[in-house]
Structure 1
Amino acid sequence: MKALSKPLLVTTAVVVGVVLAGLVVFLFSKAQAPDPAAAEVVSADSHVLDDAGDDAVTVVEFLDFECEACGAYYPVVEDLRQKYAGQITYVVRYFPLPGHFNSTNAAVAAEAAAQQGRFEDMYHRLFETQAEWGEAQESRAQLFRRYADELGLDMSAFDAAVSNPETEQRVQADFEEGRALGVGSTPTFFVDGQPLVIERWNDLEVAVQAALQR
């Protein structure tokens, strides 16, 4: 089976074991693909973790909360955000892979938290607990609800958001736009609108440094 894009390649043997174990790529029918001309790397409702202003370098990550490769890159991303605070705008978009049973459930939980202004809190919680629920073959929606409760969210509003079809549609909109942009695996990064091929742990930082120097 062919994929939309080449899988994530990492030269270090240890990294290969971690990243490729969580990497999933897949094939879609071209007849069902959205119009690439209408796709935007950042949409009006994209979740911005760090906003450094109009002149900043913009990094966009299409991610799947259940993806082990995304989980492996999570601390790399957090270090990058801290190191380049005030210099980069960091944007997160959903790309739940079909092969992960709870990827959409996790994204819906994050989006429900976002409706209360708590996206980043849920973003952190989902990655920090990924080992507890990732690869489960049954719904972990109740576990995600518990996380929301522990974060102090309004649970009536959270439950209403989770059950509202528009919440999942918001997740799906990111997914479809990602497909139109050529995203086929996670994590996929764009730096100032250009897709980045990751081969080494520091490729993202190298790309950010190069963009800052332009």
Structure 2
Amino acid sequence: MQHVKHQMSALGLMLLSMASAQFLQTEQNFAKHLRLTPVAGQKGVYQNDAYKVYPKTKKGQVTGATLVFKHAVQLSKLDLPFRIMFPDLYFEDGFSEKIKPHLPEVRSPEGFTFTDDSGSYQIHFQGKDSKSYVLKINLIQRSLQDFPENAVVYGDPDAKVSVQVFSDFQCPACKVLSQEVLADWKAKLPAQGVNIKYYHYPLPYHKNAVPTALASECARDQGKFWEYADYLFETTGWIRKSGTELQDALVSLASRLDLDTEKFEACYTSGQHQALIDGHMAAGKNVQVWGTPSVYVNGVPFPEWDNSWKLQTLIKLAK
């Protein structure tokens, strides 16, 4: 997958011209994108000039792979090929920077195990020298027990598959998710036996994220969480307000939904749902939320939440 001392230019050109080998596709397509050929007499094993690959599949979809390198690998030059080959994996500072401090562990018999920066994939890298490296990549699934049962649910609460969303009402990307993606999910997913679970993850540098989370839970008490959430994402007047001005703005939104504003205001000023929000925050940290929005499908991270094809693949894996 990289620097082969006597073939570096040829291999480099091959890497730069190949398509992305995304996980969560069929074994045949995965092999095709990496320009692999089957190894004769070894079912489910593929190779090219640089490495041998053992894909791991579930329900016909590749969820991981083991790569055994055939030649010396220059670790400092792994970043570009890695980005091309495995775009599903995210490293803010690059793959080589992630492993550089851990080279003694990589070269130990146990190797070095870590996750990409989105927490979506577990990676194990091991080899006593640059000619013997083995790279294992596997999709991670969080335990469903790590997701609290007091989420706001859209669809059948007893559905076997859930799209779990950690969100913040002051987050611009969450607004995009709400206005451009969530409506489609609401229209289509319940019919597929999939519900949507909303968890609060107010970021500390968004000063009105906690107040709006509290307000949305007060609207939930009156059966209007999703409608109130839509109003919060549609409007911006509350963002720069504070104190009583913010409270008045949030109560005004409640009145637009014909909520009992006295009950709503009493709920909001009491902060009675703070423990619920704190619980969602703790759960988010436990499942390694990488920012907002963070989306999972039955515990499997789904950072490309606008990718409808991948969503359907994850739903298929979860059923």
Task: Please point out which of 123, 130, 150 is paired with 1:45.
Answer: 150
The corresponding residue for 1:201 is 306
Residues 58-73 of structure 1 aligned to structure 2 (within 5 Å):
58-73=162-177
1:62 aligned counterpart, secondary structure: strand
1:146 alignment partner AA: S
1:93 aligned counterpart, secondary structure: strand
2:254 aligned counterpart, secondary structure: helix
Write the distance in 2 (CA, Å) between the matches of 1:46 and 1:173.
10
Write the distance in 2 (CA, Å) between the matches of 1:121 and 1:38.
27
Residues 81-130 of structure 1, C-alpha deviation per residue, up to 9 Å, x if partnerless?
A: 2133311211101000011111111101001111122211211111121x
Task: Please point out which of 155, 159, 182 is paired with 1:54.
Answer: 159
Greater CA drift, 138-147 or 85-94: 138-147
1:83 alignment partner AA: K
Residues 119-198 of structure 1 aligned to structure 2 (within 5 Å):
119-129=225-235, 131-134=236-239, 136=240, 138-139=242-243, 140-198=246-304
Higher relative CO (Cα under 8 Å, sequence separation at least 6) belongs to: 1
Corresponding position: 1:89 with 2:195: yes
Instruction: Name stretches of at least 5 consecutive residues in structure 2 with no aligned partner.
Output: 1-89, 93-141
The corresponding residue for 1:25 is none
Shift of 1:206: 2.6
Write the distance in 2 (CA, Å) between the matches of 1:53 and 1:85.
11
2:254/2:261 contact within 8 Å kept:
yes
Write the distance in 2 (CA, Å) between the matches of 1:52 and 1:107.
21
1:207 alignment partner AA: K
Task: Please point out which of 79, 85, 100 is paired with 2:184.
Answer: 79
Instruction: Name stretches of at least 5 consecutive residues in structure 1 with no aligned partner.
Output: 8-35
Greater CA drift, 76-85 or 176-185: 76-85
2:159 alignment partner AA: D
The corresponding residue for 1:10 is none
TM-score by length of 1: 0.72
The corresponding residue for 1:19 is none
Write the distance in 1 (CA, Å) between the matches of 2:144 and 2:309.
29
2:314 alignment partner AA: A
Residues 104-161 of structure 1, C-alpha deviation per residue, up to 9 Å, x if partnerless?
A: 11101001111122211211111121x3333x26352321110011211112211221
Structure 1 residues 125 and 185: alpha-carbon distance in aligned structure 2, compared to 1, 3 A threshold? same
Write the distance in 1 (CA, Å) between the matches of 2:277 and 2:220.
12
Write the distance in 1 (CA, Å) between the matches of 2:316 and 2:289.
26
Shift of 1:46: 1.1
Shift of 1:38: 10
1:58 alignment partner AA: S
| Larger helix proportion of the pair | 1
The corresponding residue for 1:213 is 316
Write the distance in 2 (CA, Å) between the matches of 1:180 and 1:52.
23
TM-score by length of 2: 0.50
Task: Please point out which of 214, 231, 234 is paired with 1:108.
Answer: 214
2:313 alignment partner AA: A
